[in-house]
Structure 1
């Protein structure tokens, strides 16, 4: 049985860890409030450009043609964008993104894709996929505060690659922060665009059940609807990527808050168990000492 000094040292160690996890939980709680507000502030633009895209791309009267609207039956190359965190201590946040991205890669290979490229946003997912025999472009260092510049780098790579025929399909995998405590893993198609993709374009919208709808007002497109669409699609892809990044940043803080809260509670349970063990060992030690004293006194009386 462990001695009292070892148990007391263990209680102190767990108490120190508990203070750290409680502090990290408080920090994550403060950060997720700001991250959710940032995501909410970007909703109006994201919703507006999605609605306009839906109007231009899916109106049969406009009859627009664009290489970004072509949905090939088979494709030899695909692209997966995986967004995770630069840091750990967030439960299964990074691991689930990694597994979901792996599933997309396997899916593309099963459907005839000979090559799948990866864009990884976040140090954890970038390090994980370094072992994969595929081309990986990693963006690290700003998972908790994503910038529009990084989103533009990703969006330009996507648009150029799809327009030039390097990719026949582009998917994105990330966590959506539904609220402060709930995160939802999403795997969505970005390109090629069609009515279904645009109608399921999502983010932290004010109403989660409200899908984008075609705008009812008639529009005149100058010089043509096709020209307008080709100008809109890059902005749309940039918006989707940037929205996913800031959405993932909020989800990361929510996952970390949840993980640190669980760690704090577990530490409390461990401390309670160790305290009970300490008290039992201490009581047993005291009882042993009393027995020894009583036994010694009795032996002296006999003599």
Structure 2
């Protein structure tokens, strides 16, 4: 029965993600805000809702490994999604065609990811807040990224703005967006419960289940949002949703730190060290791909490297 609930939650998540991506694409055009802002913050936040419910529920289940593993695994899988689509749609050269403003969010993402393995090894706990210094640094970086995005006005490239017939009004797009977001939130709660039970039944352990089984399923909205964005010929929205989701997931980790009552990364298993380092490496590769633009001899090199390191992380957690 638990596996049936798990599958039902996955189906509901995929369906809602398909709708929410189309609505986000419409909002980016109808509102005039652009794909970069909508993708990085609005769509990224909505598609990360399963991670919110999964990680917060894991805290109340007294399972910090599930919460930390879900965040690391989700971010790894998000980068894998972008890399795979970059290979599949290699003619478009996604990482060289997206707006250059995404180099700022990618850089903030890399710095945030680099904090995690350091904090797993050592952190300074803030006594009156009962959280690690790493949490405050991540929150400060996220807020700084918001400020930078407001200052840097993106220039839309490869957008289909003005070339498509709108299917709905801005109001209808906003209402549909939030309806789909609520569906994703509810499905994420069900995924958390089912995943925790599967971890117990299968004996695979919370670290592996959190990092790969649940992380992969809760990243389905990101996968579908990227797929739909490409179908809508909006690669800028696709990349922004992935990079933004990784930033938002780090904010979720901070929320979990506050709820847990002590440094969550210090309480988590050291088995996350290797996967968090590989996540940092993949984040650095993404930054390199965006910054280097046309300066690479082999265009697909970075994406292939990201896929390779994801496989290494998955094998490492499975055999651990």
TM-score (norm 2): 0.27
Question: Which structure shows the bigger proportion of residues in strand conformation?
Answer: 1
Using CA pairs below 8 Å that are at least 6 residues apart, which structure has the higher relative contact order?
A: 2
| Structure exhibiting the larger radius of gyration computed from Cα positions | 1
Larger relative helix fraction: 2
